[in-house]
A and B are shown apart, each in its own frame.
Chain A
Amino acid sequence: MTIRKILIRMPVWILLMITAGLMLFPIVIAMLGSFKTNLELTTGATVFPLKWQFQNYLDAWNKADFSGFTFNSLYVAVFVTVGTLLVAAMAAYAVDRVAFRGKKLFIFLQSFTLFISIGAVVLKPQFNLMVSIGLQKSLWGVIIILISAHATAFFMIIGFFRGIPKDLDEAALIDGCNFYSTFWRIILPLLRPALAVVALFTFRNAWNEYILPLVFSLSRPDLQTLPVGLANLRYGAGAAVENQLMLAGACLSILPLLIVYIFANRSFMQVTMGSVKG
């Protein structure tokens, strides 16, 4: 029985191990590579660094200005997350709890932005709008555009709202709460775990966004975020490409997400139906 079981399980384990190896390979390569010298990285064919170059991280942070990139990324991601949660939660509250004229149209508009995609075409008018209010050379242009794309968060939060009974609102009303204080004092606290998940996804997407910060930093390199600054290193102006700095930068750029991911692994794994990436 047990031998039979092991024989049946064997291919499954082999498949899992091979896939896990392939998944981890580039990550491990990047992590180990970030401690090598550029020469060792490009000709060495070693697995572990001959000598651990912790200097790479200092160089990336200071010389290649990853401190600046990180600040910009954090700035964008934090404001986008807060803004998206606020805008989407407020709208979801109104739509789920109140029957108002134009509600159907509003929901239609939200799904319109989800389904109609003409790619980079919309970037141009969005950029022009930011020019007209003077935000074309500011991270706030990026932040506002990213907040405007909150339809996914909106639908996710509506889904969670359905789980909060409406009796609760009525009870709050009787106890002297109005529309606004019910939202702030009753609904939002109850929604906290759901909002945490939405926040996680929003933060991840904002942190990883490449195209928008690229467009907005074309004439202002000091506004580059991590993905943009990192990609630009590849085309380093004239100088030889410094692979070791790029890998150190790549590791720096995933570090915050990795930490959040490790701590939030459980909830990441459980509430995932809303994740749209691939």
Chain B
Amino acid sequence: MPADLGFHPKEHYGLVSAHPYRLLPFRFMRWQTGEVLVVNDVGEHLFLDASSFDAFVRHRLDSGSDTYLDCKAKHLLADSDSTVPIDLLATKYRTKKSFLEGFTKLHLFVVTLRCDHSCHYCQVSRVTEDRERFDMSRETAERAVNLMFRSPARDLKVEFQGGEPLLNFQLIRYLVNYANECNTQEGRRLEFVIATNLSPLTDEMLVFMREHSIFISTSLDGPEAVHNANRPRRGNDSYEITLRNIGRAREALGHDRVSAIMTTTERSLLHPREIIDEYVRQDFDSIFLRPISPYGFAIRTRKAWEYGAQEFIEFYKAALDHVINLNRNGVAFMEVYAQILLRRMLTPFPTGYMDLQSPAGAGVGVVAYNYDGDVYASDEARMLAEMGDFSFRLGNVHEQTYEEIFGGSVLQALQEASCVEALPGCSECAFVPYCGADPIFHWATQGDPVGNRPTSAFCTKNMALLKHLFGLLHSGDAFIEKLFLQWATSQDLPHRLAS
């Protein structure tokens, strides 16, 4: 390289090796293999062997080594006074947290508490003919919709809940028309979903749903025996009815307009593979393996689920393993919880998921309007209320203003108790960028919205699943790596995920 032309050698631009580097914020976790997982604030990560990690934290990495450059490129260390690494981190952080933009996007409307099922994991439905008492009125619906439009979000998602919402289809019809009418002024991107067991479905309803591009989210818990045992109904025919109606709905609305969610009960724990196979058989391309909703149960026992966290973890791993094997055999099928976590691990993009984000989605991402006009910070918050615990009631559409409901002390306290970056037990955890907080869960199970991590079923579960996914990614199995990357970067996230 000719100096006479004015070129300078590399040293001219490099650091003087006496120059010590600074450590930028990072978290770490020791692995069983002796390696150390090092994670920066935006979820970029790498595995270092124990001695490299030791050298890294003691400011002794050789500036010419690839490990040094790896750490520097991931903004784990800085060796100049430049503020640019911090600026880049800040930009990435903003991107990761941009699910917060626009404030409350998901609005749940409990249009009735009545239901024809009596699922033991549901605390909120009523098997009754008493329309007056448990149905949402038109006036309540209008007021709730007006509140919804006060939210600055450009995308608004209306989800009808129950009870069984189709039992009050008149109100759904009324509310959809009213919201659409308001929206001619508002110009938001408005989407409707009905969470339903589908049993009261009529052709007339399907016509209306097609006209208004409404999505259906139904419940399918697995093969017939599991499903019917989980979802008892007079006649013990829930499975048959569900499948028949999924077929009708797909035909009328289009295949991808109908999705299903599953709930893991004690009985489900024995059938991870059969449950997956049922979803494949019914032509779904993904499943969301969810533990049972703890609320009624937790209030009585202070335990999260009817089974231990460890049992759920074993169930989940077995099911995921089966999903991976299906893919190996050419069946494209995805597990959605893994997808959410992998997206956070492998991409720079945000993943708002109400039940696992920091700060928590309650109130700022999702809100629930109960049949009687009460406003709750989430669906779980209103389930608690059905058990007599009104801690997370934000107000009532007939009594409070938008400012009072969304700017009140309940919501503020929830936010304060749900930034994992600052929670005791979480703040040092390597998984902060991938995890989230659920203050309502911790309130219900531990009597405190912050909660105690070592005894938290929520933490036990997420810690184990994140470790499991990292372990699989790091196992050297190229197929899994590729599959997980596909899941992480796939564009279609299920409807409960904002952005």
Indicate, yes or no, whether A interacts with B: no
A residues within 8 Å of B by Cβ?
A: none
